[in-house]
Chain A
Amino acid sequence: MSINANFVNNVVIVGGGTAGWMTAAALSHKFGNTGTQITLVESAEIGTVGVGEATLPHIRFFNAAMGIDETDLMARTQATFKLGIEFCGWGKEGESYIHPFGDYGEPHNGIAFHHLWTQQRLAGNAKRICEYSLPVMMAEANRYAMPDADPNALLSTFGYAYQFDASLYAAHLSQLSQKRGVKRVEGKITHAKRSADTGRISAVVLENGAQVEGDLFVDCSGFRGLLIEQELKTGYEDWSHYLPCNRALAVPCEPSGPIGPYTRATARKAGWQWRIPLQHRIGNGHVYCSDYISDDEAAAILIDNLEGPAIAEPRPLFFKTGRRNKLWNGNVVSIGLSGGFLEPLESTSIHLIQQGITALVELFPTQDSMEEDAAEYNAMMRLEFDRVRDFLVLHYVANQREGEKFWDDMRRMEWPASLKEKVAAFVHSGIIPSYDVGAFLPPSWLAVFVGQNIVPQAYDPRLDHLDSAAIASSMEERRRQIADAVNTLPVHMDFVRGHCPGAMVAEMVAEKIPSL
């Protein structure tokens, strides 16, 4: 029981789906014993977007903090491991690269590896940069094992995430949350009521006339932004001039090729297609810009490029990239698509949900004053969104797909100034963006820069005064060690079957809550 009654003690989450149930799971885990009431309102009639099947390594820490057993989760969600994302055709047509969850090579005399690689590349001695990355080579070879616990071991030099069925993940979190005391209310929300004194939202009203009252509302209603936008008119910063794709078609298919430990993003005529291999199916989708291609043509491209028979009809999604002007407005916090959307290119959707939840837990408010908490929350999330945006835009503007109008326009667009500086600094001086707060660390930037043929024109001049042959030899030794290590690892799906085989469908159906 709380000894400080001032904390918000009645939280209402509007909307289920991944964002809603992640929020419910986290809040119930953190505040379950404090007397805080958590209610989630969702309607079986309203579908969830349910994409966002690929994740970033950060999700492991989120799950661990909620006491979720990884092996159990992977089995329940038909998950596979993910070592990175393969980008096909984003540089020139026919080229591909993998953005890995791990670093490249080793520094030499305090000089970062990418400088060594640049020096050796210019001298004609370097191999592809990916050959110095363990997770890339593992992914290319379709091999996987858990990282070595010894930080000095080569096999400790990678991170991993999951590719899972997001609806099963939400279902699992729903079960957990309800066991921890979250009250689930079935019903369609028609409108919100406001307090006459404060102007804050005091309740949401359901179709059947019932009211669900709360002190704090977490809007997980998706693109609609039921409270944050429809009720509060918070406003949206439109980023479609930077990220113009505005539609997606999602369809699962049967697997026919190897189920590798990586997601694939293949550039198409006016967008790109994802491939996310799960244990029991392949998730596919086509993200495109409707200004450049019709829905029918987009659907045809998607279907033509499936590796196996489709097992459902393509499901359309409509979106506008950008971010809510305030993700926390009054007593409403928007988490998930209601707060903003940056398209799924780098699997950031679930990551941004996670960041929003983490920040909300840290800044959990009192009933009397939320302004300071909201201001800090908005500052934190704004920075996250802005940095992810720059990273995503880089993929588009750095394409070399000449002769396709969409891609030509993307190359010629006005870049965000912050991104322009980052690219110039890398090209001219090998400087990689580095910050403490944000999803993408220097190896990620390096992967995309080099993968899309942005290579430094100069390297650290100190290298010219070191033994170049010794550097080349040391790099080659590392490359061989990686190749040898990869050969010792099991095939990805053999490891998955032994480690976390997917639960039988019947079991999953029996365990699902009625609404899902």
Chain B
Amino acid sequence: MTRKSPSPYIQILGGGLAGWSAAAILAEQFSGTAAIHIDGAQEDTPAESAAYAHMILGGESILMQHIGMTPADLITLGRGGFWLGTCFEKWGAKGRNVYHAPGEALPVKDGLSAHQILRRLSVQEGKDGLFTDLCLPLAFQARMAAAGKFSPPSADRQSPRSLLRPGVALDGSALTAVMRDKAMASGVRVAAGMEDEPLLIVDCRPQEKAKDIDCRQALGFDRYVTLRLEGAMPHPPHDSIRPLDNGWMTILPLQGGALITLYYHSSHWTDAQAKQAAYDALPESAAAIITSGPIYPGRMERPWQGNSVHLGVGAAQLGSAMGAEVTLLSHQLETLITLLPGGKGDDMPSKSAEYNRRVAAHFDHIRDFLHLPFVRNGLTGPYWEQAKKQAIAPDLHRRLGQFERRGLLVMIDDDPFEKHSWLEMMTGLGIIPALYDHVTDGVDLSAKMRDLGSMVVAFDQTIAAMPTHEDFLAQMAARMTG
């Protein structure tokens, strides 16, 4: 029996970035033949605006692919820059900065990871702390981020720059209009109510309630304040997460300013105290509050039920740290288009079950990755001590246990983070494995250390020769206008 699908009718509820992106991408997927209506197009809620303003897009993001703009154009539009990673300011042991900078993994020789060699050396020297000291210089992309330098990736596999995987970071507010224009140009109609029973309802409205899987307690926030800073300030190629006494703030540097979001728990701070803390932590005269309110980190257990699928912050939310909100939305959209129902009579339950499984796994991995610095950090004070005591999910428990025991990086299905991302985060936080891989007892440590040393020198020289991120952006802008 042929199942040629009729032109589908899809109803999208809620505007904002999630709604308009879904509209634009679905219209494109159906080559303009679908009837896609958007209801509530004007509803760009403060909560959603705040969530997606802090925008980080990797080259593989479906949003990046469908926006149809070059990174340079996006950077201009959103006053942004290149993104090499996220700096967790002073979260590490001895007040060290910790970087999540997802470049490519170092090449592995003889099946032995560099960190195992370094752990063995630190045991041999009787200095546990040496492990962290020696690991950090090998994190090339993180070091570039820390140095405020930028150069694009190189195709030459001999160059350290071949390890780079930069994204772009920008004020995402301007993107809603871009996606709206794309959607409207593809025939998406703004229409209230439903004309017929839709094939699919895509509900992109934020939900003002706790989610089925509630992460407010574990991640220590249920309120947020967003501020905008104007004026000249440093523009490194990374965003930052700065700890405060009773919360933390994400800082997205922009050209001529920054976007700040402070997250805190209402049991620790009143709104007034939080706002005051934000002002205290920033150059007061330049900061202006955009919005504030409750936030519901967590996820729906079954965002797709029947013919209705929830997308965006109403379905899953983790705050703007590491660009998590945009990453979640991108993954939701990507998953949805590979599981689009085929028309009336198609088997929606199997698609919805698979969708729900995939987005839950993706969310859980990001939540675990984000939760890791909350449970293993060098921060002090009641708020942070309480954070360290929060229960952790079984997968994270397993990852932590194996890394702490022997530096083993456990692989789990559907993880968007590669092993070396976990490694950099764990070593950055000062987690030192009790053991090392026994195989390293049989290798020539001096030779291995010479190899690693040569690599570090090459990294040093490459970074030293790079322009600052600001200079790179200025040169890029000059080329664009010239």
- Do A and B bind? yes
Residues of A within 8 A of B (CB): 1-4, 6-7, 30-36, 65, 110, 122-123, 361-364, 366, 372-373, 376, 379, 421, 424-425, 428-429, 431, 435-437, 457-462, 464-466
CA distance A428 to B411 in the complex (A): 30
Q: List 6 A-B contacts (CB under 8 A).
A: A3-B123, A7-B438, A436-B411, A461-B8, A461-B341, A464-B5
CB distance B411 to A437 under 8 Å? yes
Contact A460 B340 (CB under 8 A): yes
Contacts of A123 in B (CB 8 A): 2
- A429 cross-chain contacts in B, Cβ below 8 A: 339, 342, 346-347, 350-351, 354
Nearest-neighbor residue (CB-CB) of B347 within chain A: A428
- When distances are taken between beta carbons in the complex, the residues of chain B under 8 Å from A464 are 4-5
> How many B residues touch A, CB cutoff 8 Å?
50
Q: A32-B442, A36-B438, A363-B408 are in contact. Are A436 and B415 (CB under 8 A)?
A: yes
B435/A4 in contact, CB under 8 A: yes
Q: Name the one of B3, B31, B351, B405 contacting A466, with C-beta atoms under 8 angstroms.
A: B31
Q: In the bound complex, do residue B413 and residue A437 qualify as a contact, i.e. CB atoms below 8 Å apart?
A: yes
Q: Is the CB of B350 within 8 A of A364?
A: no
Q: Which of A33, A35, A363, A458 contacts B443 (CB 8 A)?
A: A33
Residues of A within 8 A of B30 (CB): 461-462, 465
The yes or no answer to B412 lying at the interface (CB within 8 A) is yes
B401–A460 touching, CB < 8 Å: no
Asked if A459 and B342 sit within 8 Å, CB to CB, the answer is yes
Q: Is the CB–CB distance between B111 and A65 below 8 Å?
A: yes
> A466 — which chain B residues lie within 8 A by C-beta?
31
How many whole Å from A355's CB to the nearest CB in chain B?
A: 13
The reply to whether B3 and A425 contact each other, CB–CB distance below 8 Å, is: no
Whether A458 touches B347, Cβ cut-off 8 Å, given contacts A31-B438, A465-B31, is yes
A34–B442 touching, CB < 8 Å: yes
A459 CA to B354 CA, complexed, in Å? 15
Bound complex: CA A429 to CA B29 (Å): 17
Does the CB pair B31–A431 fall under 8 Å? Answer: no
Which residues in B have their C-beta under 8 angstroms from that of A424?
347, 350
Chain B residues near A33: list those with CB within 8 A: 441-443
Can you name the residue of chain B whose Cβ is closest to the Cβ of A3?
Answer: B124
Q: B186 to chain A: closest CB distance in Å?
A: 12
Q: A65 to B111: give the CA distance in the assembly, Å.
A: 8
A433's nearest neighbour on chain B, judged by CB, is B354
B414–A436 CB distance below 8 A = yes
**Bound-complex Cα distance A26 to B120 (A):** 21
Compute how far the CA of A246 lies from the CA of B409 in the bound complex, rounded to whole angstroms.
38
CB-CB contacts below 8 Å: B13-45 with A: 29-34
B474 at the interface (CB under 8 A from A): no
**Which residues of A lie under 8 Å from residue B411 when comparing CB positions?**
436-437
Measured between alpha carbons, how far is A364 from B340 in the docked complex, in Å? 46
Whether B1 is near chain A, meaning CB under 8 Å from some CB there, is yes
Contact B441 A3 (CB under 8 A): yes
Which residues in chain B, 411-461, are within 8 Å of chain A measured between CB atoms? 411-415, 435-439, 441-443
Residues 228-269 of B at the A interface (beta carbon under 8 Å)? none
The residue among B340, B341, B435 with the most chain A CB atoms within 10 A of its own CB is: B435
Q: Are A372 and B5 in contact (CB under 8 A)?
A: no
Give the residues in chain B near A461, CB-CB below 8 Å: 5, 8, 30, 340-343, 346
* Bound complex: CA A6 to CA B32 (Å): 66
Verify B353–A425 contact, CB threshold 8 A: yes
A34-B443 Cα distance, complex, nearest whole Å:
8
Across-interface contacts of A437 in B (CB, < 8 A): 411-413
Could you mark each residue 344-368 of chain B with 1 if its beta carbon is under 8 Å from any beta carbon of chain A, else 0? Answer: 0011011101100000000000000
